[in-house]
């Protein structure tokens, strides 16, 4: 019998790992029942949540609808990724192929209606009422989600991309979560479910979706993004550091930055932080109040200028 060399053994092992990780892994789907409550107030709150969380990736500035975009930040070595069409299109709309229960399960766990993990939108700590309101809005006839029979492209992740995805795990479905009522707790909750910590921490690979504050460099900024034109931009430090963060921001400064996309020194923020005008003043103030409780981290983000402490 021909002896297999150590080099050949290593190659076989590596090929086996690639094969396993490049295959699709199936997870159990939901069998729960779900009753959607769809009132004008539910839809209004759902719209705020969708535009505060989902629109950053799904709002197409050409169609002016949630028809999806190419994610230029994904390294080409991993493949090509497009966000889903969230309109009510029967041809291309993702949500039209889901039951309300499946959508609720996807939002909290990341498991889609085929049992595959979609690790970009995990919200395990979101309140049940807010899940309902997001679905209520996505099912509404609002202009941004009205049927749009267009596709921006089809995602194709190669085996390297699929290996990266398989390093993430689904989140547990935690039922009966209530919205917080206290201001700072509300701010912490919004930073979580709006995904603020996704961009303003170290990187996607070190996020802790279940316990966001345990994410590496939590809210210290620095994550790099690319615009469609290829320009590199870096997420800001949102800790209350007076020279590298938002320590010099007043509540009014912060509100203007979030809702109008303009910093106190007149700098225009880049998408998706160019405007969150659908947030209420109370929600914006709650986020500000929470961020002020974080330890001030002196972390000068690339491309940013250190300011003088007041």
Spans of all domains in the chain: 40-165, 183-291
Cα–chain-centroid distance for residue 280? 20
pLDDT for 200 equals: 93
Give the torsion through C-alpha atoms of 216, 120, 148, 53, to 10 deg. Answer: -40
pLDDT for 35 equals: 97
Domain 40-165: top CATH class? mainly alpha
pLDDT for 233 equals: 84
Average pLDDT score, the chain: 87
Higher-scoring residue by pLDDT: 212, 274: 212
Contacts of 295 by beta carbon, 8 Å cutoff, 6+ apart: 239
Mean pLDDT, to the nearest integer, of 240-249?
Answer: 95
Contacts of 288 by beta carbon, 8 Å cutoff, 6+ apart: 187, 249, 251, 254, 255
pLDDT for 129 equals: 98
Query: Yes or no: is domain 183-291 CATH 1.10.760?
Result: yes
Mean pLDDT, to the nearest integer, of 236-241?
Answer: 96
Mean pLDDT, to the nearest integer, of 44-49?
Answer: 95
pLDDT for 21 equals: 44
pTM summary value: 0.85
Judge contact between 230 and 72, C-beta under 8 A.
yes
pLDDT for 61 equals: 86
């Amino acid at each position: 019998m021909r002896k297999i060399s150590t080099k050949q053994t290593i190659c076989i092992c590596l090929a086996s790992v690639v094969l396993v990780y490049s295959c699709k892994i199936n997870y159990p789907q939901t069998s729960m029942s779900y009753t959607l409550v769809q009132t004008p107030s539910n839809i209004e709150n759902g719209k705020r949540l969708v535009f505060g969380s989902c629109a950053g990736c799904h709002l197409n500035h050409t169609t002016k609808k949630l028809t999806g975009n190419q994610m230029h930040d994904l390294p080409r070595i991993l493949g090509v990724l497009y966000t889903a069409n969230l309109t009510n299109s029967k041809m291309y709309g993702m949500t039209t192929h889901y039951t309300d229960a499946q959508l609720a399960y996807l939002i909290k766990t990341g498991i889609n209606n085929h049992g595959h993990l979609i690790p970009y939108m995990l919200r395990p700590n979101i309140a049940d009422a807010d899940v309902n309101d997001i679905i209520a809005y996505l099912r509404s006839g609002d202009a941004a989600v009205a049927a749009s029979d267009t596709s921006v492209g089809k995602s194709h992740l190669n085996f390297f991309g699929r290996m990266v995805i398989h390093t993430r795990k689904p989140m547990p479905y935690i039922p009966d979560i209530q919205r917080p009522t206290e201001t700072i707790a509300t701010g912490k909750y919004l930073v979580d479910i709006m995904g603020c910590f996704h961009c303003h921490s170290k990187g996607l690979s070190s996020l802790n979706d279940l316990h966001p504050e345990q994410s590496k460099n939590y809210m210290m900024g620095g994550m790099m993004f690319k615009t469609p034109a290829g320009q590199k931009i870096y997420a800001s430090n949102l800790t209350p550091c007076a020279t590298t963060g938002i320590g010099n921001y007043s509540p009014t400064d912060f509100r203007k930055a979030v809702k109008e996309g303009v910093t106190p020194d007149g700098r225009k923020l880049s998408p998706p932080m160019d405007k969150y005008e659908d947030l209420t003043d109370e929600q914006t103030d709650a986020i500000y109040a929470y961020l002020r409780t974080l330890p001030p981290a002196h972390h000068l983000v690339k491309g940013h200028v250190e300011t003088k402490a007041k």
